Amino acid sequence: MRPVERGAAPQVFTNYRDAYPFLAQRMGDYCSYCERQIETHLAVEHVQPKNPVSALINSWTNFLLGCVNCNSCKGDTVVSLPDYLWPDTDNTLRAFEYEEGGSVKSNPDLDPAIRVKADATIILTGLDKDPGNPALDRRPTEADRRWLKRKEAWDKATRCREILAIQDTAETRELIVEVAKGKGMFSIYWAQFSHDSDMRRRLREAFVGTANNCFDHAENVQPRHGGQI
Ligand SMILES: [Zn+2]
């Protein structure tokens, strides 16, 4: 899950929907949780749900971007923020591992107390929903194709890595970053290029709104100042 920065509030909002263009411009039109690029139906996501937590309905610091699937999984669950990990305050790239086939799991190297929160975040947003999940209630609805899109992104990123190994030029690198930007799924490309700091730098710089304070000079993830991880 890409750590993001929304920056300071551009204005006072009286209708949260008006925040959408600012959020999309600053963080890209990617779902903050599943990371897919969404042309339409990407909505202003309320970290604390607008119903029943109406006090934060127009609060800039309560906004992320959410697709319909992540939104409907999270629903109106009132959350105690410190019980979960958040892409706008934590270095969520440290929290999760993206594996073969695009499945998402909490990072087994995490401190156990943090890992509980990483697992809770996966459940809250439904990122574990997969047709192969042994738990019936953790299988996706027909409308929820996030698992498939992750798998496709994983396969495409694998192919990109293979092509780069054959033809390693600046142009190939540039093209791969463009492919990644077009579909989103920053974390999957980040995982695939784990041994290539130049590709990681290119990805970090290309995905607008990636929180730069989550990385060191060698493009390793580092704890986020003020975050839980
Ligand atoms: Zn989503």
Least confident piece of the model among 45-59, 105-119, 180-194? 45-59
C-alpha to C-alpha distance for 185 and 30, rounded to whole angstroms: 8
Measuring CA to CA, how many Å separate 168 from each of 33, 109, 191? 31, 32, 18
Q: Distance from the CA of 165 to the center of ligand 1, in angstroms?
A: 31
Q: Distance from the CA of 137 to the center of ligand 1, in angstroms?
A: 18
C-alpha to C-alpha distance for 23 and 10, rounded to whole angstroms: 10
Confidence of residue 51 (pLDDT cuts 50, 70, 90): confident
Q: Does residue 197 register a pLDDT over 90? A: yes
Q: Distance from the CA of 196 to the center of ligand 1, in angstroms?
A: 27
The amino acid present at 75, given as its one-letter code, is G
- Residues around ligand 1, an ion, CB closer than 5 A: 31, 33-34, 67, 70
pLDDT score, position 69: 96
Q: Distance from the CA of 177 to the center of ligand 1, in angstroms?
A: 21
Spatial CB neighbours of 189, under 8 Å, sequence gap ≥ 6: 153, 157, 160, 176, 180, 199, 203
Average pLDDT over the chain, rounded to an integer? 96
In the predicted model, what is the mean pLDDT of residues 1-5? 98
In the predicted model, what is the mean pLDDT of residues 195-222? 97
Q: What is the CA radius of gyration of the chain?
A: 17
CB distance 66 to 32 below 8 Å = yes
Q: Does residue 41 register a pLDDT over 90? A: no
Share of the chain above pLDDT 90, in %: 93
Confidence of residue 9 (pLDDT cuts 50, 70, 90): very high
C-alpha to C-alpha distance for 128 and 48, rounded to whole angstroms: 21
Q: Distance from the CA of 16 to the center of ligand 1, in angstroms?
A: 19
Q: Distance from the CA of 227 to the center of ligand 1, in angstroms?
A: 22
102-144 pLDDT, tens digit per residue, is 899 999 999 999 999 999 999 999 999 999 999 999 999 999 9
In the predicted model, what is the mean pLDDT of residues 2-7? 98
DSSP 224: P
In the predicted model, what is the mean pLDDT of residues 42-67? 93
Measuring CA to CA, how many Å separate 68 from each of 19, 45, 80, 95, 193? 17, 10, 22, 23, 29
